[in-house]
Amino acid sequence: MLEELISILIGCILGIMTGLTPGLHINLIASIMLALSNFLLKYTSDLNLIIIIISMSITHLFLDTIPSIFLGVPNEDTAIIILPAHKLLLEGKAQEAVFLSLLGTLFSIIIICIFIPILIFIFPILNFFLKNHIHIILIILTIILILKEKQRFLTLTIFLFSGTMGFIILNTPNIKEPLLPLLAGLFGLSSLILSIKNNTKIPKQINQNLKIEIKKIKFILIGFIAGVFSAFLPGLGSAQTSVLTSSIIRKIDPKDFLILNSSINSVNLIGSFITLFTINKARSGIAVAVSQLINLTLNKLILIFSVILATTFIATVLTICFSRIFSKLISKINYERLCYSIIVLITILVLIISKPIGLLILITSTSLGVYVQLKQVNKNHLMGCLLLPVILYFII
């Protein structure tokens, strides 16, 4: 028992480091941990290593919204929250943005843990009926998404261009972590560059006594349902699911979207363990790591969810503490210098991880992101970079 508790604490410490590092996706961390597994297993058991990885991933899940909200640096799962979160930051409500994301994450984890027996039963059934029709569903939803816009032709062009770019990049061999430069450019650097251009100032953040509104619960439930589909359908990530789900809902404000997106993110990650157990398919980097290290039995699945619940409450406290620290610091920092620093940091990270070709992707995606924002087209349509490759995956 003591070893398990120590493993959870080690995972939490690693999760703090990875979660607060701008632009770092948990799948990259999972692949690194897996690559080091032979070395790490000399000092610990495979089960304790799994506990460390799970604990780290849950802590990361909670904390990675903080650099996205305060610094505007996204990863694959948080790219889509940049604009609504930035809006709240400029209103002095960044801490509220973190609270709303925390709300969606915390309650969706509790809900999925309650519904484990039902999900174990329905996942194979859903997979059987929907796995061959996902591309049709995506095409219909994408058409609806585009028809909602006033500049339909321009929106379609942007969707197809970003989709083609995403398809080429994701299918080009030897590009490490292609989503890092792609999404950092489309959603991160493009917004930072325009913030510098517009001489954006970050106001002092309001320290509010935040309360849970009952009407917000429905977005957690919607996110839970959408996240379930995202968890077992191949190629459909949480970011794409958030865009498609929000397009179906008639009225959704930035605050509601933050709850929805964080709920989908959580269910997508945690549901991947149920997917691995029921249909033997790993739908996330963390699930891949688990599948490579152990044979996932029912007892081990129960252990994983016990670790998830224990880590959830630790990560909740950590998120509140770090959001308060960031909230106090952000208005005291010269925002223009901060933007330049983040741009330099991301550029260096891209060069180190994705090499010179990653820099080319970063420049191209940033240019497209700036163009779309200047044309006042909804940036959600840039998620075509992930949606179109998924559609083509099923068609081809």
> Running along the chain, 396 residues long, what does each successive block of 10 average in pLDDT?
88 90 71 77 86 93 88 63 77 88 94 93 84 82 82 94 94 85 84 80 75 81 90 71 77 85 91 89 78 88 94 95 88 81 87 91 94 85 85 83
What is the rounded distance in angstroms from the CA atom of residue 386 to the CA atom of residue 311?
30
How many degrees, rounded to 5, is the angle at CA 257 between CA 91 and CA 249?
Answer: 135
pLDDT at 235: 61
pLDDT at 73: 60
* Amino acid, res. 23: G
CA of 310: how far to CAs of 56, 274, 301, 304, in Å? 12, 18, 14, 10
Q: Kindly state the tokens that stand for 350.
A: 């891209």
pLDDT at 23: 64
* Amino acid, res. 6: I
Domain count, the chain: 1
Structural domain containing residue 219: 2-395
pLDDT at 183: 82
pLDDT at 78: 61
pLDDT at 82: 67
Only one residue has tokens 């959704």, namely 252
Q: How many of the other CB atoms lie within 10 Å of CB of 170?
A: 16
At 354 the three-state DSSP class reads: helix
Only one residue has tokens 């996942």, namely 123
Contacts for 375 with CB less than 8 Å, ≥ 6 apart: 151, 154
Q: Kindly state the tokens that stand for 138.
A: 């995506």
pLDDT at 168: 95
What is the rounded distance in angstroms from the CA atom of residue 61 to the CA atom of residue 380?
21
pTM above 0.85, yes or no: no
**Cβ proximity of 41 and 49 under 8 Å:** yes
Q: Where does the chain have alpha helices with state H?
A: 2-19, 26-35, 37-40, 46-63, 65-71, 82-90, 94-114, 116-130, 134-147, 152-170, 179-183, 190-197, 217-232, 238-248, 254-279, 285-293, 298-330, 335-374, 384-395
Q: Kindly state the tokens that stand for 12.
A: 């939490």
